[in-house]
A and B are shown apart, each in its own frame.
Chain A
Amino acid sequence: MVLHRAARARLAPFGAAVLVAAVLVALGAPLLAPYDPLEQNLGLALARPGRAHLLGTDNIGRDVMSRVIWGTRVSLVAGFASVAVAAVTGSLLGVLAGYAGGRADGLVMRAMDAVLSFPPLVLALALGAVLGAGLGGVLIALGVVYTPTFARLMRGQVLAITAREYVDAARALGAPGWRIAWHHVLPNAAPPIVVQASLSVAFAILAEASLSFLGLGIQPPGASWGSMINAGRGYLQQAPWIVFGPGAALFVTVVGLNFVGDAIRDALDPRL
């Protein structure tokens, strides 16, 4: 078992490195990108990777490398923001359900089950159509899709914790409900939530890419890795770099984030 953890731990620095690199690239995009990602050069469309354009150009002559670099922002924002929305909303609902109990609990949990029974892609599609196109719509859609996981988790934690003695003791001493929630419940419930959140970010980034692939999400001329892959799909034979540039970036980022998520889980939850 110990050996097992050690092996995992070796990968964690790699994951951390990827995450740090991604954040740096996202923040430093204006400085790092060799070209303006929106600059079109129709004469140089579909150029092979070379000196001038490290990852070649796309179908209207934009530098793929620069677009991949700027796309990092979109992916990271989409991943972190949607998980943040889901974690906060889910946690609040979970606390409400676990603490209030009875009717409220039943209602919230039924609602969460309802959301879970929905095929997630269809839910995102419908929400996207209602909210209108754009990154905001995707964030909300993904937030909604992931909320039940957090809600259930938080509720479970609340139920487990409020059953413990020190809460009884606090109640007996006359502490108001919210105080108990703030000082006792939340700090103890936090670790599993953080673990779940860190594991979810990678999937949220993948999900955003899938949605962009289907045409939802960020509007042109902005680009996310998913929409770039979708746009490059028709050129797979002629100019595969349009797909592989963002594809590789997506893959590496998701792998790295997975490692980080695993490491956090190992650190915070030694039982597993």
Chain B
Amino acid sequence: MAATASEPTGDFTRRDFMKACAAASAVSVVGRVRRATAEAPKKGGTLRVGFYIEAATMDPHLSGSKVDRQIYHNIFEPLVTLDVKLGIKPGLAESWQQPDSKTLVFKLRRGVKFHDGTDFNAEAARFNFDRMKTEPKSVRKGEVASIDSVDVLDSYAIKLNLKRPDAALLATLTDRAGMMISPKVVQERGAELGRNARGAGTGPFEFVEWIKDDHLLIKRNESYWNKEGGPYLDRIRYRPIPDDTVKLQSLQAGEIDVIDYVQPRDVAAVKADRNVAVVDVPSLADFAYQLNHTRPPFNNKALRQALAHSLDLEQIVKGVWLNVGRPANGPIPPTSWAYDKSIAPIKRDLAKARAKLAEGGQSGGFTFTMTTNNLPINIQEAEVIQAQVREASITMKIKLVDAATLLSDGNSRNFDMISYQWSGRPDPDGNTYQFFRTTPGTSLNWSGISNPQIDSLLDRTREVSSQAERKKLYGELTRLLQDELPMVFIVHPVEPKAFSPRVQGYEPIPDGMMRFKDVWLR
């Protein structure tokens, strides 16, 4: 036994077998993924990635933009990470325990070094949490608000003392809030970190340079702690290409190897193109419209319901989204464990819509304005919705605005119905709490909804730790939301990502973040 166990059987070593199993299980969950089974990964090459905008900052604690996260997940590492089913698995933390609902203890991984050579340990972890809470420009404050203090138990263990039970915290720590930056880099570089992240992370790749408006370059970390699998690529080059059509054409022309998103209208053509491989990644996002509860007409619940019942979600998803996504029943996406498929999306029912109109005192219909982004798919969706509600005698005007104006109108509640697209978070709390909980002042609760039942449900989902319990609560919440309608939910989109056929080993995770650790080029 001892002699033969370590012998490779033919070409297939034990490690390859394990990788094949992992790859096979990944395939069974989502779309077409290239398997790494038949060929062995090769080291080398530069992966050229095209994103829709430029990154904003290289400092995870100060970042508020989605594109930043894409890069962070390759050079920084969080304490815990997500697997393909959105389960939480060890990252820089080897294991964790919750002795009580207000305490979280992490045992940290040993032997991990930051790219600048310093050790990752409990002191470093505490430094990071402190910075997130106290740095004036920190955007992570809200995410770690439930953490009261962090104790260092020994050089590789920390204890988080929470102000209140927070069942969603672990999931939050799989992204920016859990990412560890080298304290030495922060202390030496200060604000420069936003532009130069050399030596700052622990990930499979390290930062090389960032030439604004041109490219951002990262290279393989030769002393990466995880010896299993990659990283294989020599370098990764990110380029911002704001125009969708140009981005796709660049991929088709072979100028870049990866793009983060294919527009629904291009999906069919791209799938038929043999020069390009497409992976459908069901996302955590939800696309909806917030309804303003603080002024007419949508302060009237019956009129909100009239609107909801005059929409034909299936027609929208089919005609505008070309079925690259599913009609939504609420804020929680189908990829989440909390999704309740027994709750159907609101169905179109013109008779009911008219009844609701009468109930709301507007049997002849009413007029309102929809504010939406000046983007092709938003415009299309708006036009389709306009035609749909017209059949229920509701007149809708369309107001197109740019992103800054949209945010301003939303924050100041200067709208009737406004488009809102949330990129989604792994824990359902991230898709619900801040939108529907009564919040004074400016917040993401643009609708202004204040419903005590919803509030207490939301609070309980944070206190309760059993997933089954929380799922029940979220089911109740979804039903309630379909009645109260702070938002009308339209679709949970799929985010198709496209690759050159040379790209192998990509494993899609539903948070949409492109992690290139095990990716290699043929």
Closest partner residue, chain A, to B320 (CB atom): A60
Closest partner residue, chain A, to B315 (CB atom): A42
- Total count of chain A residues near the partner, CB < 8 A: 22
Residue in A60, A132, A219, A238 whose CB lies within 8 Å of B380: A60
Closest partner residue, chain A, to B378 (CB atom): A220
- Are B245 and A220 in contact, with the CB atoms below 8 A? no
A20 within 8 A of B: no
- Are B384 and A42 in contact, with the CB atoms below 8 A? yes
For A219, the chain B residues whose CB sits under 8 A away are 397-400
The smallest beta-carbon distance between A106 and chain B, in angstroms, is 37
- Are B380 and A42 in contact, with the CB atoms below 8 A? no
- Are B245 and A59 in contact, with the CB atoms below 8 A? no
Main secondary structure of the interface of A (DSSP, over half): loop
A54 within 8 A of B: no
- Are A59 and B380 in contact, with the CB atoms below 8 A? yes
For B318, the chain A residues whose CB sits under 8 A away are 42
Query: Which B304-328 residues have C-beta < 8 A from chain A?
Result: 315, 318-320
A235 within 8 A of B: yes
B434 within 8 A of A: no
For A129, the chain B residues whose CB sits under 8 A away are 402, 405
- Total count of chain B residues near the partner, CB < 8 A: 26
- Are B245 and A234 in contact, with the CB atoms below 8 A? yes
B386 within 8 A of A: yes
A117 within 8 A of B: no
For B383, the chain A residues whose CB sits under 8 A away are 40, 60, 220-221
The smallest beta-carbon distance between B380 and chain A, in angstroms, is 6
- Are B398 and A40 in contact, with the CB atoms below 8 A? no
Query: Would you give the 0/1 interface string for A42-75, flagging 1 where the beta carbon is closer than 8 Å to chain B?
Result: 1001000000000000011100000000000000
Query: Would you give the 0/1 interface string for B379-395, flagging 1 where the beta carbon is closer than 8 Å to chain A?
Result: 11011101100000000
B263 within 8 A of A: yes
For B295, the chain A residues whose CB sits under 8 A away are none
B209 within 8 A of A: no
Residue in B266, B386, B387, B398 whose CB lies within 8 Å of A234: B266
B401 within 8 A of A: yes
Task: Name the residue in A233, A234, A236 with the highest tally of chain B Cβ atoms < 10 Å from its Cβ.
Answer: A234
A59-B265, A129-B402, A133-B401 known; A231 vs B379 contact (CB < 8 Å): yes
Alpha-carbon separation in the docked complex, A45 to B382 (Å) = 16
For B398, the chain A residues whose CB sits under 8 A away are 219-221
Query: Which A227-250 residues have C-beta < 8 A from chain B?
Result: 230-231, 233-238
Alpha-carbon separation in the docked complex, A149 to B245 (Å) = 37
Alpha-carbon separation in the docked complex, A40 to B389 (Å) = 13
The smallest beta-carbon distance between A164 and chain B, in angstroms, is 51
The smallest beta-carbon distance between B176 and chain A, in angstroms, is 31
Closest partner residue, chain B, to A58 (CB atom): B380
Alpha-carbon separation in the docked complex, A221 to B401 (Å) = 15
For B315, the chain A residues whose CB sits under 8 A away are 42
Residue in A132, A231, A233, A238 whose CB lies within 8 Å of B269: A238
Alpha-carbon separation in the docked complex, A133 to B400 (Å) = 6
The smallest beta-carbon distance between A134 and chain B, in angstroms, is 9
- Are A235 and B265 in contact, with the CB atoms below 8 A? yes
Closest partner residue, chain A, to B377 (CB atom): A234
Closest partner residue, chain A, to B245 (CB atom): A234
Alpha-carbon separation in the docked complex, A231 to B386 (Å) = 17
- Are B405 and A220 in contact, with the CB atoms below 8 A? no
For A221, the chain B residues whose CB sits under 8 A away are 383, 386-387, 398
Alpha-carbon separation in the docked complex, A38 to B386 (Å) = 10
Task: Name the residue in B269, B376, B386 with the highest tally of chain A Cβ atoms < 10 Å from its Cβ.
Answer: B376
Alpha-carbon separation in the docked complex, A238 to B266 (Å) = 9
The smallest beta-carbon distance between A58 and chain B, in angstroms, is 10
- Are B376 and A60 in contact, with the CB atoms below 8 A? no
The smallest beta-carbon distance between B344 and chain A, in angstroms, is 22
User: Which 6 A/B pairs are nearest by Cβ-Cβ distance?
Assistant: A42-B319, A215-B374, A221-B383, A133-B400, A220-B398, A220-B383
